[in-house]
Structure 1
């Protein structure tokens, strides 16, 4: 019943995304597009955190790395199909980094808060490296003039075209990751998260499965980062820093960890609220975000996606 409800929610969300351009102007279409891109990034974290129960506190490292790699490839002259090569590189570089980190940490038995602390340090190191290597990364100011996305010889620019690309990409990724979670692979991951020793006793190679899940998560984050800089036209150290790593955790927690669709809802809600509140009083936003996070933890610890399900169960009990 829970899985069917999530499929219904995904179908409803797809319908909303389909009809939204008919009612929104260019500005609001751009705002939602950027929020959906960050939602794709949040989905990548939820795929690893929600499936395994292990929190990666430096996930912006993969998002920002994908963005910088995409920028460097597309700004290199003489390459055939630079956008396609850039997206492949934006996926491959974070995946390779996650494979190295996962090999030393996950195969080394690092779990729980220790894994979280190490990945947090990874994000800090990555941001300092980007700022220091100014000859390549542009330092504090980043790199401007990133070429727009071009696929099949056609340049994809403008609010409507980029919105369609982002929305379709997000839906495809959500369906693919959901299918993977519902497969035998996902069930084994849940078993590993519940009791890794027991899963290993049943013959499952827990470190290998955790590492591969971490690699897939990093690859999706890198793809989101590459797509973001191609549409925004700029890449900066903020995309790889600790602040974004913290924000994505908040998006996942508010939306609902382990739901895949919830982090998208959380990212859209938080981004929209941030713009509205910051336009009135910029200093008020961090306070409101912190209070909202605390309230969500107490009222709906499983995120806003669980509120509808709890309400439905309560109505059933009352009707019974």
Structure 2
């Protein structure tokens, strides 16, 4: 977090965008890591948040565009997740069937963004999205510069991940773990499993929408690819590489992958997909709990060495 403050503007931009993707990865991990149910169309919520933010901020007639855009992005993604999640969870859809349905959801959202060109700009998307700017208690916040935008994004990511961690460590997370282990037994103990899964899914989608809103304001554009299958696949890789169920791990995984992609692509862009596949395979077989598990392994090794002495 501190290193980019002493780096150039380009480094700030790279790490800032990686942090936004890290927030997106943490949103998926909050649901997937705690429930064991994989959402393969999570980028749909990222794209929904991005498009809502773009449409609101590009309309000069709407006052407080940045704040309303962020709130609209969060609410819009949550609303779509609530509708889809209600039918899936209360309909008893779980496992691979849930994954397939959410995959279709992502494809539909991407195609809708392409087809509804009068609103979304079609394949070209929407450009010229202004940076976040608002007044807060007499303080004027302008994120058009690299350093303020980096600090703002870092604060948002830190607070959001901390909030998710506290929820996961509390009673809510304990009940979700019980549902993941045995949903029938959890229901017998009086827990409304479908409702808890739905609320968790909606919160996960809302944070993905927030990440999408932040990203399009920093990038200045939004396109159908932001809700497509490729980004949905990438975020799964980030979570797996970082460590599913850890929340912090996916953030680190996203930063690691994004930083590696920037470095390797500058030398040989065509080499990156191959290396990414190799990294994913190595992580799955050597570090199935992600790179964050390295710390736990070293800690156990150190404790074991001290006991031997």
Same fold (TM > 0.5): yes
Equivalent in 113, 117, 132 of residue 149 of structure 1? 132
Partner of 1:254: 241
1:66 maps to 2:49:
yes
1:145-204 Cα shifts (integer Å, max 9, x gaps): 012101215432111010011000001001111111111111101110111010000000
1:31-46 superposed matches below 5 A: 31-46=14-29
Separation (CA, whole Å) in 1 of partners of 2:166 and 2:49: 24
CA drift at 1:278: 1.2
Equivalent in 229, 250, 259 of residue 263 of structure 1? 250
Partner SS state of residue 148, structure 2: helix
CA drift at 1:216: 0.2
1:12-57 Cα shifts (integer Å, max 9, x gaps): xxxxx1x324421111011100000100000100000011110000
CA drift at 1:287: 0.7
1:1-320 superposed matches below 5 A: 17=1, 19-152=2-135, 153-320=140-307
* Residue segments in structure 2 that go unaligned for 5+ positions in a row: none
Partner SS state of residue 109, structure 1: coil
CA drift at 1:231: 1.5
* Residue segments in structure 1 that go unaligned for 5+ positions in a row: 1-16
Separation (CA, whole Å) in 1 of partners of 2:5 and 2:67: 30
Partner SS state of residue 314, structure 1: helix
CA drift at 1:307: 1.1
RMSD: 1.0
User: Which 4+ runs in 1 deviate beyond 4 A?
Assistant: none
